[in-house]
């Protein structure tokens, strides 16, 4: 059987979700997957990004990462999304990307994609779970197979116990409050494993 092809698709303003994506990428590669790490298109005006030191630093750090396209969705057997929370929902940049996949959705190209999601917010109860669930709602419309971490490993509890997907609280200085690296890596490996099962079954 060929390797599972995984797309890790993120949006990050302050660098948190970029770091989550990098941990997921490393773990999935370790699990034997062929991985692409991709960012969604920035929608904010360049002048706004340039006037925010943290935002600009993240933009600079991710400038060489390719922007995700419909071709990447078609290529992937599995997708891990990582997005910050905006008022209890996914960031508009991520929503825009998902909303522009109507063409491939209409052709059945999103069916049976194995998907999982991660998020961040400034407060422990600032909408992290709602953000992941809102993304999963779109994935149900895609006909995707959702793979949450659940409580499948003790590392989930160590990261705060979110069964829907790894989520992290970001402090005022941009630091992650919870230690979620192990949970992210477990979630990525679980996603690859389920994608292997699905791929084997479809073949």
- Checking if the pLDDT of 163 tops 90, the result is yes
- Checking if the pLDDT of 194 tops 80, the result is yes
Predicted TM-score (pTM) of the model is: 0.96
Supply the CATH number for residue 86's domain. Answer: 3.40.50.360
Rounded-to-integer distance, Cα 31 and Cα 87, Å: 34
What pLDDT does residue 61 have? 95
- Checking if the pLDDT of 179 tops 80, the result is yes
- Checking if the pLDDT of 37 tops 70, the result is yes
Number of domains forming the structure of the chain: 1
- Checking if the pLDDT of 202 tops 90, the result is no
Structural domain range at position 176: 5-202
pLDDT in tens, 80-111: 999 999 999 999 999 999 999 999 999 999 99
Q: What percent of the chain has a predicted confidence (pLDDT) above 70?
A: 99
């Amino acid at each position: 059987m060929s390797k599972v092809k995984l797309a890790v698709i993120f949006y990050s303003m302050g660098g948190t979700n970029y770091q989550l994506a990098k941990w997921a990428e490393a773990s999935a590669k370790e699990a034997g997957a062929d991985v692409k790490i991709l960012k969604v298109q920035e929608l904010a005006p360049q002048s706004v990004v340039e006037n925010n030191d943290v935002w600009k630093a993240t933009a600079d750090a991710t400038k060489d990462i390719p922007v995700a396209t419909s071709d990447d969705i078609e290529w992937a057997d599995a997708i891990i999304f990582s997005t910050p929370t905006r008022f209890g929902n996914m960031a508009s940049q991520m929503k825009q990307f998902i909303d522009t996949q109507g063409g491939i959705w209409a052709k059945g190209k999103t069916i049976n994609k194995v998907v999982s999601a991660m998020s961040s917010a400034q407060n422990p109860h600032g909408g992290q779970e709602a953000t992941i669930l809102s993304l999963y709602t779109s994935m149900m419309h895609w006909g995707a197979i959702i793979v949450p971490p659940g409580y499948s490993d003790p590392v989930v509890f160590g990261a705060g116990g979110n069964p829907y997907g790894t989520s992290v609280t970001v402090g005022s200085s941009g630091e992650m409050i919870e230690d979620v690296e192990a949970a992210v890596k477990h979630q990525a490996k679980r996603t690859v494993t389920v994608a292997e099962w699905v791929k084997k079954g479809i073949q």
